[in-house]
Amino acid sequence: MSKTEKLAQHLEKLRINNMYKNDFYWTWDKTDDELDAIFTVADALRDLRERNISTKVFDSGLGISIFRDNSTRTRFSFASACNLLGLDIKDLDEKTSQIAHGETVRETANMVSFMADVIGIRDDMFIEEGHKYQKTFMDALDEGYEKGILEQRPTLVNLQCDVDHPTQAMADLLHVIHEMGGVENLKGKKVAMTWAYSPSYGKPLSVPQGIIGLFTRFGMDVVLAHPEGYEILPEVEEIAAKNAQESGGSFRKVNSMEEAFKDADIVYPKSWAPFKAMEKRTQLYREGDKAGIDALEKELLAQNAEHKDWSCTEDMMKLTKDGKALYMHCLPADISGLSCAEGEVDNSVFDRYIEPLYKEASFKPYIIAAMIFLSKVKDPVAALRSLEKRGEKRKEF
């Protein structure tokens, strides 16, 4: 029996009917079965790809990406996922579109979606704005579809907002599942999601929020560590605590990187900006207060510099379980002695984990493809089996 068939048989057992023609905003909106289905389909698509079997379920259509912040990994992961399934990809550049001339979100949403099957949006820079933009965009598509303007209503994949980074968090967890030898081995594993020093400011909160919001679903002991003043969204902390209670794991907060790293199985040192500062920055941008923004940046850089000891050093790694915790990062990392003088992680630590870091990143295209697949394919089990039975080889020259 092939790996894809085993995965198809597992998929048959899951209750996932609500995923068809549905969006993906954040992980805590999804059931355990729905998360399981995404991991399962991602693994199946990867198996087929590795055997050079075509996974195209579309013969036409578009995947539209809207990146309102810079991106490399997520941008190319979304493009790869669309291509894997047979969709063409078009990146909407707001600077060269009519948006720059005052076109509304409502109008843009309908104008770019005439033959689109999926919309991927990244809007992560401003508190209370990223998710709001995604919701406004998709509400406009609901209206366009209901009034017959659009033949079909495209699906949203959240490529990062101010609240969650679901494609990153799920790719990270699928990496952990493979590294730990199965989801059944996650329970009781200690995860240190910690702040780390960066010589830049304004990094989004959605990665740490996504990690604590997802990893607590699987019975893991998740520790969120940061210096005082670097709090994240309190409502996401509440979600993490609730998830941990329901899964038999734990969630706690500490103000010590050493305490978080002690006996940890997984460490995720990553810089982010304080929630209150991001709120203030959002308000300054709304007011067009450039002087205020510049002053806030100087203030936050000075605040960061007070915590240069929050770094993933060789000594810090020795505190982890047997000194061999799995080091993780969404990339790019601020690497001490390489990309900056002092940063999130020592060059020697980063270099030692570079292969698993690349493996971690490699799961994201398949996670995104699985999200699209499950939202657009009515019978995903039959579709997987059909792809394998057809066995159409990708063209080789």
Residues 91, 224 share a domain: no
As a whole number of angstroms, the distance between CA 89 and CA 159 comes to: 15
CB 373 within 8 A of CB 85: yes
Residue 84 tokens, joined: 């894997």
Which pLDDT score is estimated for 285? 84
Residue 267, in any domain of the structure: yes
DSSP 393: B
Per residue in 283-331, pLDDT tens? 998 889 999 989 999 999 999 999 999 999 999 999 999 999 999 999 9
CB 221 within 8 A of CB 189: yes
Which pLDDT score is estimated for 98? 53
Contacts of 39 (CB under 8 A, 6+ apart): 170, 173, 174, 177, 183, 367, 370
> Which position has the token pair 């790996």?
3
Residue 141, in any domain of the structure: yes
Residues 370, 272 share a domain: no
Residues 197, 156 share a domain: no
List the beta strands (DSSP E) in the chain.
Answer: 62-67, 88-91, 116-123, 155-161, 190-194, 221-225, 250-254, 266-269, 326-327, 335-336, 345-346
Pairing of strands 62-67, 88-91: parallel
H or E, element range at 159: strand 155-161
Residue 88, in any domain of the structure: yes
Backbone angles phi, psi at 52, to 5 degrees: 65, 30
Number of domains in the chain: 2
Which pLDDT score is estimated for 3? 97
> How many residues in total does the chain contain?
397
Query: Residue range 347-351: average pLDDT?
Result: 98
- Report which of 3, 11, 2 is spatially closest to residue 35, judged by C-alpha positions: 11
Rounded to whole angstroms, what are the CA distances from 130 to 139, 208, 346?
Answer: 14, 16, 32
As a whole number of angstroms, the distance between CA 118 and CA 376 comes to: 9
Per residue in 59-71, pLDDT tens? 999 999 999 888 8
Residues 121, 187 share a domain: no
Residues 383, 297 share a domain: no
Q: pLDDT over 70 for what percent of the chain?
A: 97
Which pLDDT score is estimated for 101? 46
Residues 136, 203 share a domain: no
- Report which of 80, 42, 85, 81 is spatially closest to residue 61, judged by C-alpha positions: 85
Residues 247, 348 share a domain: yes
Residues 352, 204 share a domain: yes
Query: Residue range 98-109: average pLDDT?
Result: 71
Q: What is the DSSP string of 295-337?
A: HHHHHHHHHHHTTTT-SB-HHHHHTSGGG-PEE---S---EET
Cis peptide before 227 (omega within 30 of 0): no
Mean pLDDT value across the chain: 94
Whether the model clears a pTM of 0.85, i.e. scores above it, the answer is yes
Q: What's the pLDDT band for 393 if we cut at 50, 70, 90?
A: confident
Per residue in 254-281, pLDDT tens? 999 999 999 999 999 999 999 888 889 8
3-state SS class at 123: strand
Residue 323, Cβ neighbours under 10 Å: how many?
9
Which pLDDT score is estimated for 78? 98
97, pLDDT greater than 70: no
CB 372 within 8 A of CB 117: yes
3-state SS class at 94: coil
- The dihedral over CA atoms of 112, 113, 115, 120, expressed in degrees to the nearest 10, equals 100
Which pLDDT score is estimated for 396? 61
Which pLDDT score is estimated for 247? 98
Residues 326, 220 share a domain: yes
Residue 278, in any domain of the structure: yes
Q: What's the pLDDT band for 22 if we cut at 50, 70, 90?
A: very high
Question: Does the CA dihedral 89-393-41-178 come out positive or negative?
Answer: negative
Which pLDDT score is estimated for 277? 87
Residues 146, 273 share a domain: no
Which pLDDT score is estimated for 95? 64
CB 94 within 8 A of CB 123: no
Higher pLDDT residue, 148 or 277?
148
Cα first-last separation, the chain: 30
Residue 64 tokens, joined: 């539209």
Backbone angles phi, psi at 303, to 5 degrees: -65, -45
CB 91 within 8 A of CB 119: no
Residues 255, 235 share a domain: yes
Per residue in 193-216, pLDDT tens? 999 999 998 789 999 999 999 999
Q: What's 386's domain CATH number?
A: 3.40.50.1370
Residues 368, 356 share a domain: no
Backbone angles phi, psi at 267, to 5 degrees: -125, 140
- Domain span at residue 383? 3-164+364-390
102, pLDDT greater than 80: no
Higher pLDDT residue, 256 or 72?
256
